[in-house]
């Protein structure tokens, strides 16, 4: 049915996120556990115990933007900047294919060093070599015509988190050179071009209130994306927000569950940032309704350079080790990682 208004919904999010919350109103379960079971059951009805994997290729850490929260922002002079070559990117895909990946996510900072045509070429090459795979781009804001070029080149999906649906909050997280309106315009352009669209937000980002999170849910209800990526805000020591509090596991799990209730068939990853703030974070994400995980396929030599936040996990492992590790972790919680493109149902 209808979503509650943002004030009412915000209050519910606030109470659910409070680990001191004593109330148990549903069959003696805490509201938090009741919500988890509902979300878990819905995910199970849609996907069974199947977890989809996406191979993440972090192809550049060069960025023209300066988001206050992000470790690879342009003002961070401590970053050792890199760009992968076409051959390096294809080698990541080759390795991933053998490991059972059928979706490749090309993610990068907004690096003007790649022309629109160069990105189109990369997409075409991967699609030619692996026609049974989906290619997802996660490369920030671009004009409609550029998104169209990449779509024509074969890109199937695009990930662009809206980050926050509250305009004033958006402006506190980003410098004046970035605009909330453009972010939203990009998302609707991507939709109209026939991409499968992923959006999402950070949980516990600086200055965020529970009402902001309610606004995020309202925004997503309107946008109706196929994929929704959320994860806790985690500070990075070389950013203006270095001293800000990180998001909590509890609130992230609450938001994953609420998203699952709203979108029973959506593709919802249990993110690396959740796995970073808690050793069992990604597994708990699955138990609260998530059904996707995005292991790192980037060359080990660059992984530590794509540091969006402090202490990011899985930066020292080979791709094969990550695949094996995730399989075992998922199985321990009753899930099965599958070889599948994982398209929307
Ligand atoms: N440049 C592209 C974009 O902006 O969409 C893709 C790369 S960007 C680094 C990917 C995501 O990382 C962002 O959407 C943001 O939500 C997340 N991120 C950045 N800094 C973070 C932090 N400190 N903690 C948690 N997530 C962060
Ligand atoms: Fe990378 Fe476990 S997922 S080591």
Do 111 and 74 contact (CB within 8 A), yes or no? no
Nearest CA to ligand 1 atom 19: 70
| pLDDT value, residue 21 | 74
- Residues paired with residue 203 on neighbouring β-strands, in sequence order: 232
Condensed to tens digits (0 to 9), the pLDDT of residues 189-248 reads 999 999 999 999 999 999 999 999 999 999 999 999 999 999 999 999 999 999 999 999
Predicted confidence (pLDDT) at residue 86 exceeds the cutoff of 70: yes
Predicted confidence band of residue 28 (pLDDT cuts 50, 70, 90): confident
Which ligand is closest in space to the CA of residue 244? 1
Condensed to tens digits (0 to 9), the pLDDT of residues 296-345 reads 999 999 999 999 999 999 999 999 999 999 999 999 999 999 999 999 99
Average pLDDT (249-256) is 98
**Burial (CB count <10 Å: 0-12, 13-18, 19+), residue 334:** exposed
Is residue 312 lining ligand 1, measured as CB closer than 6 Å? no
Average pLDDT (9-22) is 92
Average pLDDT (75-92) is 98
Of 334, 228, 290, the C-alpha closest to 40 is 290
Condensed to tens digits (0 to 9), the pLDDT of residues 163-193 reads 999 999 999 999 999 999 999 999 999 999 9
Do 136 and 54 contact (CB within 8 A), yes or no? yes
Q: Ligand 2 mean position to 323 CA, how many Å? A: 7
3-state secondary structure the chain: CCCCCHHHHHHHHHHHHCCCCCCCCECCECHHHHHHHHHHHHHHHHHCCEEEECEEEEEECCCCCCCCCCCCCCCCCCCCCCECCHHHHHHHHHHHHHCCCCEEEEEECCCCCCCHHHHHHHHHHHHHHCCCCEEEEECCCCCHHHHHHHHHCCCCEEECCCECCCHHHHHHHCCCCCCHHHHHHHHHHHHHCCCEEEEEEEECCCCCCHHHHHHHHHHHHHHCCCEEEEEECCCCCCCCCCCCCCCCHHHHHHHHHHHHHHCCCCECECCHHHHHHCCCHHHHHHHCCCCEECCECCCHHHHCCCCCCCCCCCCCCCHHHHHHHHHHHHHHCCCEEECCCCCCC
In which residue are the tokens 């090459």 written?
A: 125
Nearest CA to ligand 2 atom 3: 322
Is residue 160 lining ligand 1, measured as CB closer than 6 Å? yes
Instruction: Please provide the average confidence, as pLDDT, over all residues in the chain.
Output: 97
Give the chain's domains with CATH numbers: 6-14+24-338 (3.20.20.70)
Condensed to tens digits (0 to 9), the pLDDT of residues 31-42 reads 999 999 999 999
Report residue 74 as tokens: 């342009």
Predicted confidence (pLDDT) at residue 25 exceeds the cutoff of 80: no
Nearest CA to ligand 2 atom 1: 322
Q: Among 54, 59, 64, 70, which residue has the most ligand 1 atoms within 8 Å of its CB, making it the best to mutate? A: 70
| pLDDT value, residue 296 | 96
Predicted confidence band of residue 22 (pLDDT cuts 50, 70, 90): low
Nearest CA to ligand 1 atom 1: 109
Condensed to tens digits (0 to 9), the pLDDT of residues 41-82 reads 999 999 999 999 999 999 999 999 999 999 999 999 999 999
Which ligand is closest in space to the CA of residue 205? 1
| pLDDT value, residue 129 | 98
**C-alpha to C-alpha distance for 322 and 328, rounded to whole angstroms:** 10
In ligand 1, the atom with minimum distance to the C-alpha of 241 is 23
Predicted confidence (pLDDT) at residue 24 exceeds the cutoff of 80: no
Do 149 and 116 contact (CB within 8 A), yes or no? yes
Task: List residues near ligand 2 (CB under 6 A).
Answer: 295, 314, 317, 321-322, 325-326
**C-alpha to C-alpha distance for 341 and 102, rounded to whole angstroms:** 5
In ligand 2, the atom with minimum distance to the C-alpha of 317 is 4
Nearest CA to ligand 1 atom 2: 140
Q: Ligand 2 mean position to 313 CA, how many Å? A: 7
Which ligand is closest in space to the CA of residue 199? 1
Q: Ligand 1 mean position to 202 CA, how many Å? A: 8
Condensed to tens digits (0 to 9), the pLDDT of residues 266-299 reads 999 999 999 999 999 999 999 999 999 999 999 9
| pLDDT value, residue 5 | 98
Report residue 222 as tokens: 């309107």
């Amino acid at each position: 049915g209808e979503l509650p208004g943002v004030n009412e919904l915000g209050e519910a999010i606030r109470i659910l996120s409070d680990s001191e919350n004593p109330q148990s109103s549903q069959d003696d379960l805490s509201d938090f556990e009741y919500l988890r079971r509902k979300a878990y059951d819905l995910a199970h009805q849609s996907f069974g115990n199947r977890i989809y994997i996406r191979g993440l290729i972090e192809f550049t850490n060069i960025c023209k933007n300066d988001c206050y929260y992000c470790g690879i922002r342009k003002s961070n002079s401590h970053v050792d900047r890199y760009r992968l070559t076409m051959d390096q990117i294809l080698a990541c895909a080759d390795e991933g294919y053998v490991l059972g990946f059928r979706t490749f996510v090309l993610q990068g900072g907004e690096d003007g060093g790649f022309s629109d045509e160069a990105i189109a070429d990369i997409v075409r090459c991967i699609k030619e070599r692996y026609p049974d795979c989906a290619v997802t781009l996660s490369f920030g804001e671009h004009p409609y015509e550029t998104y169209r070029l990449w779509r024509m080149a074969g890109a199937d999906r695009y990930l662009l988190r809206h980050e926050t649906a509250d305009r004033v909050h958006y402006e506190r997280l980003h410098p004046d050179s970035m605009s909330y309106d453009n972010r939203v315009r990009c998302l609707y352009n991507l939709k109209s071009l026939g991409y499968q669209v992923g959006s999402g937000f950070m949980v516990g980002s600086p200055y965020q209130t529970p009402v902001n999170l309610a606004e995020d849910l309202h925004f997503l209800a309107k946008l109706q994306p196929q994929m929704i990526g959320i994860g806790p805000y985690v500070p990075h020591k070389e950013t203006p927000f270095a001293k800000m509090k990180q998001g909590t596991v509890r609130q992230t799990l609450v938001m994953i569950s609420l998203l699952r209730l709203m979108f029973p068939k959506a593709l919802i990853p249990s993110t690396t940032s959740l796995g970073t703030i808690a050793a069992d974070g990604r597994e708990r994400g699955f138990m609260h309704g998530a059904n996707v995980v995005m292991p790192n396929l980037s060359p080990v030599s660059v992984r530590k350079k794509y540091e969006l936040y402090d202490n990011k996990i899985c930066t020292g492992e080979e791709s094969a080790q990550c695949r094996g590790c995730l399989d075992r972790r998922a199985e321990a919680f009753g899930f099965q990682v599958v070889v599948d493109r994982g398209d929307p149902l």
